Amino acid sequence: MLWQVIQMNKLLLSAAIITAALYAVPAAYAADTDTVTGIEIGALREEVHMRIGAPQSVSPDGSKETYTLESGETAVLRYRGEELQFGYIII
């Protein structure tokens, strides 16, 4: 009985790993540094996404979005609600 439970748990874990791999979000790449630096403070989140695409990651509270740029640099944008408050690029 214990052996069957262990085998079932291994099977479920394997299925979870495969499912996670199938639905993994690919890295988002903004066009370039100039495109990101051209976004104005106060822009709405929707406008930002239309210009540079979906973020690579979003903080749990939604206030911070991260993008990997074509140059390999990382852009971090911070929001208050739906409005861009500030951003910076990590070189």
Task: List C-alpha distances in Å: 77 to 4, 17, 21.
Answer: 49, 30, 27
State the pLDDT at residue 31. 58
pLDDT of 4 over the 60 cut: no
Helix or strand run (H / E) with residue 48: helix 45-52
pLDDT in tens, 26-78: 454 555 788 888 899 999 999 999 999 999 999 999 999 999 998 889 999 99
State the pLDDT at residue 35. 87
State the pLDDT at residue 30. 54
pLDDT of 5 over the 80 cut: no
What CATH number labels 27-90? Answer: 3.30.1450.10
- What is d(CA 72, CA 33) in angstroms, rounded to the nearest whole number? 10
Residue 10's identity, in one-letter code, is: K
For the chain, the C-alpha Rg in angstroms (whole number) is 19
Please state the domain extents for the chain.
Answer: 27-90
pLDDT in tens, 8-39: 434 334 333 333 344 444 454 555 788 888 89
User: pTM score, two decimals?
Assistant: 0.66
